[in-house]
Amino acid sequence: MKKFKRQIIKVLGLALLLYLFLMIPDGQKSGTLVRANATPFTWNSDGLWQQLENDFRKSKQLSAYQLDSSIAVLKAKAEGQFGLIQQQPIAAGDSNLFALQHTFFSLAPLIAARPAELAWYCSYYNQIRNYVKKQSQHWNLDEALARSTLYSMLYGMRAAIEEVLLQNTGTSFPPAMLVRNEKSFTPSTSIFGIKVHSGDLLVSRGGAEVSALISRGNDYPGNFSHVALLYVDEKTNHPFLIESHIEKGVAVSSVEGYEKDKKLRFMVMRPRADLAAIIADPLLPQKAAKKIYEESFARHIPYDFKMNFFDSSAMFCSEVASYAYKQKGVQLWPSLSTISSQGVVNWLHAFGVENFVTQMPSDLEYDPQLSVVAEWRDPSTLFKDHIDNAVMDALLEQANAGKQIGFDIWQLPLARVIKGYCMIKNLFGKPGLIPEGMSATKALKNQSFVAMNKKVKADTQILVDRFITNNQYRPPYWQLVAFARAAAASSK
């Protein structure tokens, strides 16, 4: 009996020693961080946002005649402003562009109260979007003024469109918005009712908490967190999506698989038909897509947590598209993305990112070489997308104020055991619970981040529901951010 007890004590002692050994923190070894020398974009327009909300409240009290008259005056002004510039080149930062934008913003609260005008509003936006994209071909997007002009016009006016869409709760809007029918000679297919061509780039936004971090953790906060490259087999006409996932690295999925993956929104972009490289070889997009499609089967390409697009041994999602086109002589993201806020850098570095001058999914929209073909939004989840963004914006403000992402150190031994099992699965080509390239510590930090995000989101939703009950309309984005700030402050 004593011998048995000694054996039990010995086993428990060894288990304790192993547990304590597995609790040893990770070393401080890290690669060289590539930092950005830039300044994040800020709107600094709180007064304007509040005025627009006040105008919306007033517009709901107007008679149909008064509302139609007010809209007619602003529509005429908007079309007149655009008519003056649409047939001529314009410089980045030109005051006419911002006058155009201001009128567009002023129309939003009136259109929100008059859904019958929504089709015109969206059509007008697409005209401006295509014009600005064309003008940006002649701008130097490495200059802050040019980049900020392009961003504020495209992102800002989209935001106005979506505020209008979200206030029309009694009217369903079509998910797909066709923007420009850019010519292509490559094989085609249809996704979500949109005709797409081989070589097209699909930027999307998922519903995961990390998706919000990727889309908002940027000097130019955006709407997209993922990039996929479309390949259509020229013999069978069967479509495939090549993309890099955190869980399994570069992989190929069917259109059915892509559609089943949770998508809050996506945008289709296509190389311009008048690019010199496309004129020389109209099938270049097809060849670029086919090469990375074949390479994804020829070698295992793990996910690149470092976000180093210079090293193709591992790839993050943007890098798949960038790498494929670069092999054919087209450099996407000619103006690189920057992440310069120290708090955002700290949080992303906690998950393994080392390169903060890189290629972010949202910034692909501002590449002058690409046309926006279509944009798709899920009507049932668009408001969720806005809440997710607002929560992330509030949390990143806390990050910039010094908040760190911690983790439960007592869970570290178990996490390391799980990581060991995942590494064995990886050897046999199977994904594990903890992704390849992610340490147990980083997995626990991710778990803490997700829990923090969910808590703030739940508290924000309570404030949102209260606002809707009291005001009988959905809070606009600036109100969502205020609610998220309050929720984040109370959960410290």
- Alpha-carbon gap, residue 227 to 202, rounded angstroms: 6
pLDDT tens across 402-436, in order?
Answer: 999 999 888 988 888 898 889 998 988 888 889 99
- Alpha-carbon gap, residue 320 to 292, rounded angstroms: 8
- List beta partners, residue 228: 202
- Alpha-carbon gap, residue 71 to 59, rounded angstroms: 10
- List beta partners, residue 244: 250
- Please tell me whether the overall predicted TM-score, pTM, comes out greater than 0.75 for this model: yes
pLDDT tens across 233-244, in order?
Answer: 999 989 999 999
Q: From the DSSP assignment, how many helices (H) and strands (E) are in the chain?
A: 16, 11
Neighbours of 32 (CB within 10 A): 7
pLDDT of residue 2: 66
- Mean pLDDT lowest among 7-16, 137-146, 176-185, 401-410: 7-16
How far CA 386 is from CA of 191, 265, 392, 393, in Å, comes to: 24, 11, 10, 10
188-191 and 194-197 as β-strands: parallel, antiparallel, unpaired?
Answer: antiparallel
Q: What is the mean pLDDT of the chain?
A: 92
- Alpha-carbon gap, residue 386 to 111, rounded angstroms: 19
- Alpha-carbon gap, residue 158 to 121, rounded angstroms: 11
pLDDT tens across 300-336, in order?
Answer: 999 999 999 999 999 999 999 999 999 999 999 999 9
pLDDT of residue 17: 63
pLDDT of residue 78: 97
- pLDDT-derived band at 255, boundaries 50, 70, 90: confident
Give buried/exposed letters for 308-320 (b at 16+ CB in 10 A, else e): bbeebebbbbbbb
* Average of per-residue pLDDT across 156-167: 95
